[in-house]
Protein backbone atom coordinates (compact mmCIF):
# COMPACT_ATOMS: atom_id res chain seq x y z
CA UNK A 1 0.00 0.00 0.00
CA UNK A 2 1.29 3.44 -0.87
CA UNK A 3 1.79 6.13 1.74
CA UNK A 4 1.92 9.88 1.19
CA UNK A 5 5.52 11.02 0.96
CA UNK A 6 6.62 13.71 3.41
CA UNK A 7 9.46 15.01 1.25
CA UNK A 8 8.93 18.30 -0.55
CA UNK A 9 10.00 19.28 -4.02
CA UNK A 10 11.27 22.75 -4.89
CA UNK A 11 8.43 25.22 -5.09
CA UNK A 12 6.55 23.54 -2.22
CA UNK A 13 4.93 20.80 -4.27
CA UNK A 14 4.42 17.47 -2.54
CA UNK A 15 6.65 14.72 -3.83
CA UNK A 16 3.83 12.27 -4.47
CA UNK A 17 3.16 8.87 -2.94
CA UNK A 18 5.73 6.49 -1.52
CA UNK A 19 5.62 2.87 -2.71
CA UNK A 20 8.27 0.49 -1.36
CA UNK A 21 10.85 3.21 -1.05
CA UNK A 22 10.13 4.86 -4.40
CA UNK A 23 8.27 8.14 -4.83
CA UNK A 24 5.56 8.23 -7.49
CA UNK A 25 4.74 11.78 -8.63
CA UNK A 26 1.46 10.96 -10.36
CA UNK A 27 -1.14 12.97 -8.44
CA UNK A 28 -3.67 14.31 -8.14
CA UNK A 29 -5.34 12.35 -10.96
CA UNK A 30 -3.97 8.93 -9.98
CA UNK A 31 -4.52 7.75 -6.41
CA UNK A 32 -4.58 4.59 -4.25
CA UNK A 33 -1.26 3.26 -5.48
CA UNK A 34 -0.42 -0.39 -4.82
CA UNK A 35 2.74 -2.29 -5.69
CA UNK A 36 2.51 -4.85 -8.53
CA UNK A 37 6.11 -5.66 -9.42
CA UNK A 38 9.38 -4.38 -10.78
CA UNK A 39 12.11 -5.23 -13.26
CA UNK A 40 15.32 -3.87 -14.71
CA UNK A 41 13.60 -0.76 -16.06
CA UNK A 42 11.41 0.28 -13.16
CA UNK A 43 8.51 -0.40 -10.81
CA UNK A 44 4.86 -0.99 -11.70
CA UNK A 45 1.93 -0.05 -9.45
CA UNK A 46 -1.82 -0.17 -9.77
CA UNK A 47 -3.82 3.02 -9.27
CA UNK A 48 -7.27 4.56 -9.57
CA UNK A 49 -7.79 7.08 -12.36
CA UNK A 50 -10.03 9.63 -10.64
CA UNK A 51 -11.23 11.02 -13.99
CA UNK A 52 -12.42 7.72 -15.49
CA UNK A 53 -12.94 5.88 -12.16
CA UNK A 54 -11.06 2.91 -13.63
CA UNK A 55 -8.05 0.93 -12.42
CA UNK A 56 -4.81 1.49 -14.30
CA UNK A 57 -1.21 0.32 -14.19
CA UNK A 58 1.55 2.92 -13.89
CA UNK A 59 5.10 2.03 -14.85
CA UNK A 60 7.81 4.27 -13.41
CA UNK A 61 10.87 4.30 -15.64
CA UNK A 62 14.20 5.97 -14.90
CA UNK A 63 15.79 5.64 -18.33
CA UNK A 64 18.26 8.50 -18.37
CA UNK A 65 21.15 6.73 -16.65
CA UNK A 66 22.01 4.71 -19.76
CA UNK A 67 21.61 5.38 -23.46
CA UNK A 68 20.25 1.88 -24.11
CA UNK A 69 17.46 2.42 -21.56
CA UNK A 70 16.58 5.73 -23.21
CA UNK A 71 16.41 4.16 -26.65
CA UNK A 72 14.28 1.28 -25.45
CA UNK A 73 11.84 3.55 -23.61
CA UNK A 74 11.51 5.94 -26.54
CA UNK A 75 11.01 3.06 -28.97
CA UNK A 76 8.22 1.54 -26.88
CA UNK A 77 6.44 4.87 -26.42
CA UNK A 78 6.63 5.72 -30.14
CA UNK A 79 5.20 2.34 -31.15
CA UNK A 80 2.46 2.02 -28.53
CA UNK A 81 1.16 5.56 -29.00
CA UNK A 82 0.59 4.69 -32.66
CA UNK A 83 -0.82 1.19 -32.23
CA UNK A 84 -4.49 0.71 -31.41
CA UNK A 85 -5.61 -2.91 -31.12
CA UNK A 86 -7.53 -5.04 -28.61
CA UNK A 87 -4.63 -7.48 -28.23
CA UNK A 88 -1.86 -4.91 -27.77
CA UNK A 89 -1.34 -3.00 -24.54
CA UNK A 90 -2.22 0.67 -24.82
CA UNK A 91 -0.69 3.84 -23.42
CA UNK A 92 -3.42 6.06 -22.02
CA UNK A 93 -1.20 8.72 -20.48
CA UNK A 94 2.45 9.72 -20.10
CA UNK A 95 3.53 11.76 -17.07
CA UNK A 96 6.81 13.63 -16.98
CA UNK A 97 8.46 16.61 -15.35
CA UNK A 98 7.55 20.07 -16.68
CA UNK A 99 11.13 20.82 -17.76
CA UNK A 100 14.16 18.95 -19.10
CA UNK A 101 16.20 19.99 -16.06
CA UNK A 102 13.73 18.31 -13.68
CA UNK A 103 13.17 15.20 -15.74
CA UNK A 104 14.51 12.10 -14.00
CA UNK A 105 11.59 9.69 -14.34
CA UNK A 106 8.85 8.94 -16.84
CA UNK A 107 5.49 7.42 -15.86
CA UNK A 108 3.60 5.36 -18.44
CA UNK A 109 -0.09 4.77 -17.69
CA UNK A 110 -1.73 1.69 -19.20
CA UNK A 111 -4.81 -0.45 -18.64
CA UNK A 112 -4.49 -2.78 -15.67
CA UNK A 113 -4.12 -6.50 -16.40
CA UNK A 114 -4.25 -8.97 -13.53
CA UNK A 115 -1.46 -11.37 -14.54
CA UNK A 116 0.66 -12.64 -17.41
CA UNK A 117 1.09 -15.95 -19.21
CA UNK A 118 4.30 -16.80 -17.36
CA UNK A 119 2.63 -16.52 -13.95
CA UNK A 120 -0.47 -18.37 -15.14
CA UNK A 121 1.51 -21.34 -16.44
CA UNK A 122 3.31 -21.53 -13.10
CA UNK A 123 0.02 -22.13 -11.29
CA UNK A 124 -2.15 -24.27 -13.57
CA UNK A 125 -2.47 -26.43 -16.64
CA UNK A 126 -4.48 -24.75 -19.38
CA UNK A 127 -7.45 -26.45 -20.99
CA UNK A 128 -7.43 -26.93 -24.77
CA UNK A 129 -10.13 -24.26 -25.06
CA UNK A 130 -7.98 -21.76 -23.19
CA UNK A 131 -4.93 -22.62 -25.30
CA UNK A 132 -6.90 -22.08 -28.51
CA UNK A 133 -8.36 -18.79 -27.31
CA UNK A 134 -5.01 -17.44 -26.13
CA UNK A 135 -3.27 -18.53 -29.33
CA UNK A 136 -5.96 -16.84 -31.41
CA UNK A 137 -5.42 -13.56 -29.55
CA UNK A 138 -1.62 -13.77 -29.82
CA UNK A 139 -1.79 -14.33 -33.57
CA UNK A 140 -4.42 -11.63 -33.97
CA UNK A 141 -2.20 -9.10 -32.22
CA UNK A 142 0.89 -10.28 -34.08
CA UNK A 143 -0.85 -9.91 -37.44
CA UNK A 144 -1.54 -6.27 -36.56
CA UNK A 145 2.07 -5.70 -35.51
CA UNK A 146 3.43 -7.27 -38.68
CA UNK A 147 0.95 -5.35 -40.83
CA UNK A 148 2.73 -2.21 -39.60
CA UNK A 149 6.02 -3.75 -40.79
CA UNK A 150 7.26 -4.08 -37.20
CA UNK A 151 9.05 -7.03 -35.60
CA UNK A 152 8.35 -7.48 -31.88
CA UNK A 153 11.51 -9.59 -31.32
CA UNK A 154 10.81 -10.40 -27.68
CA UNK A 155 7.64 -12.48 -27.56
CA UNK A 156 7.59 -14.69 -24.47
CA UNK A 157 5.00 -15.68 -21.82
CA UNK A 158 5.83 -12.80 -19.46
CA UNK A 159 5.11 -10.32 -22.27
CA UNK A 160 1.56 -11.62 -22.72
CA UNK A 161 -0.70 -9.87 -20.21
CA UNK A 162 -4.01 -11.43 -19.12
CA UNK A 163 -7.09 -10.44 -17.16
CA UNK A 164 -9.80 -12.44 -15.41
CA UNK A 165 -11.95 -12.62 -18.55
CA UNK A 166 -9.06 -14.19 -20.51
CA UNK A 167 -8.36 -11.11 -22.59
CA UNK A 168 -4.75 -11.12 -23.79
CA UNK A 169 -2.56 -8.14 -24.65
CA UNK A 170 0.98 -8.18 -26.05
CA UNK A 171 3.35 -5.83 -24.21
CA UNK A 172 7.01 -4.73 -24.02
CA UNK A 173 8.01 -3.29 -27.38
CA UNK A 174 11.42 -2.12 -26.18
CA UNK A 175 13.24 -4.46 -28.59
CA UNK A 176 10.88 -3.93 -31.54
CA UNK A 177 12.28 -2.92 -34.92
CA UNK A 178 11.02 -2.04 -38.36
CA UNK A 179 11.27 -5.16 -40.52
CA UNK A 180 14.45 -4.72 -42.55
CA UNK A 181 16.27 -7.90 -43.61
CA UNK A 182 19.40 -5.91 -44.50
CA UNK A 183 19.76 -4.25 -41.10
CA UNK A 184 22.60 -5.45 -38.88
CA UNK A 185 21.20 -6.37 -35.46
CA UNK A 186 24.52 -7.47 -33.96
CA UNK A 187 24.87 -7.00 -30.23
CA UNK A 188 21.34 -5.96 -29.34
CA UNK A 189 19.44 -9.15 -28.66
CA UNK A 190 22.45 -10.99 -27.24
CA UNK A 191 22.19 -8.88 -24.08
CA UNK A 192 18.80 -10.28 -23.15
CA UNK A 193 19.46 -13.79 -21.90
CA UNK A 194 15.92 -14.21 -20.55
CA UNK A 195 14.56 -14.33 -24.09
CA UNK A 196 16.88 -17.11 -25.26
CA UNK A 197 14.32 -19.91 -24.96
CA UNK A 198 12.04 -18.19 -27.46
CA UNK A 199 14.64 -17.01 -29.97
CA UNK A 200 14.61 -18.28 -33.53
CA UNK A 201 17.84 -20.07 -34.53
CA UNK A 202 18.54 -17.56 -37.31
CA UNK A 203 18.98 -14.85 -34.67
CA UNK A 204 21.71 -16.87 -32.97
CA UNK A 205 23.36 -18.01 -36.20
CA UNK A 206 23.18 -14.86 -38.31
CA UNK A 207 23.35 -11.21 -37.30
CA UNK A 208 21.08 -10.03 -40.08
CA UNK A 209 18.67 -11.23 -42.72
CA UNK A 210 15.86 -12.39 -40.45
CA UNK A 211 12.22 -11.55 -41.04
CA UNK A 212 8.82 -11.63 -39.37
CA UNK A 213 9.26 -15.39 -39.05
CA UNK A 214 11.30 -14.84 -35.87
CA UNK A 215 8.12 -13.76 -34.08
CA UNK A 216 6.23 -16.75 -35.47
CA UNK A 217 8.95 -19.03 -34.06
CA UNK A 218 8.46 -17.44 -30.64
CA UNK A 219 4.70 -18.02 -30.86
CA UNK A 220 5.36 -21.69 -31.65
CA UNK A 221 7.53 -21.99 -28.54
CA UNK A 222 4.82 -20.32 -26.46
CA UNK A 223 2.16 -22.65 -27.88
CA UNK A 224 4.23 -25.70 -26.94
CA UNK A 225 4.67 -24.32 -23.43
CA UNK A 226 0.94 -23.68 -23.05
CA UNK A 227 0.24 -27.29 -24.05
CA UNK A 228 2.93 -28.97 -21.95
CA UNK A 229 3.40 -26.48 -19.09
CA UNK A 230 7.15 -26.48 -19.62
CA UNK A 231 9.51 -24.61 -21.98
CA UNK A 232 10.16 -26.34 -25.29
CA UNK A 233 13.82 -25.29 -25.63
CA UNK A 234 15.19 -24.44 -22.15
CA UNK A 235 18.81 -23.86 -23.15
CA UNK A 236 21.27 -22.89 -20.43
CA UNK A 237 23.52 -21.00 -22.84
CA UNK A 238 23.98 -20.26 -26.54
CA UNK A 239 25.31 -23.69 -27.59
CA UNK A 240 22.93 -25.60 -25.32
CA UNK A 241 20.03 -23.66 -26.86
CA UNK A 242 21.01 -24.79 -30.36
CA UNK A 243 21.44 -28.37 -29.14
CA UNK A 244 17.91 -28.33 -27.71
CA UNK A 245 16.51 -27.09 -31.02
CA UNK A 246 18.47 -29.63 -33.08
CA UNK A 247 17.49 -32.39 -30.67
CA UNK A 248 13.80 -31.77 -31.37
CA UNK A 249 13.87 -30.71 -35.02
CA UNK A 250 17.00 -32.49 -36.26
CA UNK A 251 19.73 -30.97 -38.37
Count other Cβ atoms within 10 Å, centred on residue 26.
21
Q: At 37, which helix (H) or strand (E)?
A: strand 30-39
The one catalytic residue in 154, 172, 182, 215 is: 154
Contacts 24+ apart (CB under 8 A), 121-129: 121/157, 121/225, 121/226, 121/229, 125/229, 126/226, 126/227, 126/229
* 182 is known as an active-site residue: no
Contact 179, 149 (CB under 8 A): yes
Bridge partners for 96 per DSSP: 106
Is residue 143 marked as binding?
no
Bridge partners for 177 per DSSP: 151
CA atoms within 13 A on the CB side of 17: 19
- Which residues fall in the annotated binding site? 60
Detail the residues annotated as belonging to a binding site for ATP: 60
Which residues carry out catalysis? 154
Amino acid sequence: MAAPAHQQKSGGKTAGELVRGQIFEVGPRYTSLNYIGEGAYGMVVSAIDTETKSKVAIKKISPFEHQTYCQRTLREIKILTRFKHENIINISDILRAPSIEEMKDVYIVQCLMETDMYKLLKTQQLSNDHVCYFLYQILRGLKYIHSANVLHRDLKPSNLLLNTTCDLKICDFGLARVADPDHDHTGFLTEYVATRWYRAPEIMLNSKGYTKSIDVWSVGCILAEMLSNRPLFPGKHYLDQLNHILGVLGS
